[in-house]
Amino acid sequence: MIHWAESRGGHLFLHASPIDVAGILQDRLYDKIGPIVYTSATLAIAGQLEFFERRIGLKDESGPLFTMDDAVLASPFDYEKHAALYLPQRMPDPQDPSFPEAVADQLRALLPITGGRAFVLFTSLRNMRAVHELLAGELPWQTLLQGDAPKQQLLRKFRETPSVLFASQSFWEGVDVPGDALSLVVIDKLPFASPSEPITAARIDRLRSEGQDAFFSYQVPQAALALKQGFGRLIRTAADRGIVAVLDGRITRKGYGRLFIETLPRCRILRSPAEARHFWDGTEPI
């Protein structure tokens, strides 16, 4: 178990969480009840379920520990026709002080393509506020900022009027905006969990003590699943269409970036605002 304390809003919170749930599930669930079905749109990484199955104690290095079947089923949505992934050709490193301004420049080019109607999702509140401050005074659409109103109120306003919503990871899952109201999802950085976060730090330490590469065996696949969750905000029905933009250049510059792309639904990749415009308008460049 990992134990930690947190001070927030004048209150002290004491937390305890298991570092690894595999053994707990084996002892208290799999050996106690009958058949279990795990199902979700975000269990597979690059078409494989190995990471999930090992995390929840169904497999170890030697193979399956229980009689089981697994399958990755095709989506009912036509992502290749209705969705596109925008990856800009040039972006500064996310740690560079110029990164927020570069994100703002990308938004200036992308938002007019879809007429706003965008979620702009950030991995940190600091970057969210910085980019919002750069753009809020110049955008012609309703601009919404996480924290200015309750979550459901922000979503209601977003659905009613063409808007640009600046938000953090709390909007990456459990949010459903089908139809034309949401046509563009922009993600500023690959959603790696902070290595200083207590549970993440404890899991990294455990993996390193076991001689494993924590970055590639845990941090990268965990972030790939989180990115898949963010991508999933876009296409909610068979009729939806739109663009997901990932503005973190590491997805194309780093070797591990290929895993992120292969984990997302297969769709067209765009490398410039002009290509994004052609995709959205249904035209091909001359």
Residues 104-144: tens digit of each pLDDT? 999 999 999 999 999 999 999 999 999 999 999 999 999 99
**pLDDT surpassing 60 at residue 48:** yes
Question: Phi first, then psi: what are they for 132, rounded to 5°?
Answer: -60, -40
Categorize the per-residue pLDDT at 79 as very low, low, confident or very high, splitting at 50, 70 and 90: very high
Cα(165)–Cα(71) distance, integer angstroms: 36
CB burial string 61-95: b at 16+ within 10 A, e below: eeeeeeeeeeeeeeeebebeebbbbbbbeebeebe
Q: Mark residue 174 as left, alpha or beta (left: phi above 0; alpha: psi -120 to 50; beta: remaining).
A: left
Cα(126)–Cα(138) distance, integer angstroms: 20
Q: Which amino acid, 162? A: P
**Residues sharing a CB contact under 8 Å with residue 192, sequence separation 6 or more, in sequence order:** 123, 219, 222, 223
**pLDDT surpassing 70 at residue 208:** yes
Domains assigned to the chain: 2-64 (no CATH), 79-281 (3.40.50.300)
CB 26 within 8 A of CB 44: no
Q: Which amino acid, 65? A: L
pLDDT value at residue 125:
93
